[in-house]
């Protein structure tokens, strides 16, 4: 089974969560083992920006699993920010908003 490692950085308005896949190739059947780390669920009242190199179907799965967060964005290095793809918070950023990410 493939391995996924997480790095988390808490910013003022959001949590930046980056994943790295191990050396084993990821397969669609591995999705049942992948979830957002439990230790950041206490930050679900904030936004979450996901980052990492992986297949589109892995991102779709992780965004689905991140449903409890106020809003979710996916990092795009070309835009130097996270593109909001889901929002549950009336005063949060709208879908399509680019949240600047430093570092």
pLDDT at 2: 73
Instruction: Quote the pTM value.
Output: 0.93
pLDDT category at 1 given cuts 50, 70, 90 is: low
pLDDT at 96: 97
Q: What is the mean pLDDT of residues 3-17?
A: 93
Tens digits of per-residue pLDDT, 44-82? Answer: 999 999 999 999 999 999 999 999 999 999 999 999 999
Q: Domain limits at 58? A: 4-100
C-alpha distances in angstroms, 15 versus 2, 4, 25, 57?
24, 18, 27, 22
Structural domain total, the chain: 1
């Amino acid at each position: 089974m493939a391995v996924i490692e997480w790095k988390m950085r808490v910013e003022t308005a959001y949590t930046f969560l980056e994943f790295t896949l191990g050396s084993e190739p990821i397969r669609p059947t591995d999705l049942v083992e992948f979830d957002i780390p439990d230790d950041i669920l206490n930050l679900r009242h904030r936004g979450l920006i996901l980052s990492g190199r992986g297949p589109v179907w892995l991102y779709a799965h992780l965004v689905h699993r991140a449903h409890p967060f106020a809003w979710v964005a996916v990092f795009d290095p070309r835009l130097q920010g996270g593109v909001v793809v889901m929002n549950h918070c009336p005063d949060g950023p709208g879908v399509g908003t680019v949240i600047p990410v430093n570092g």
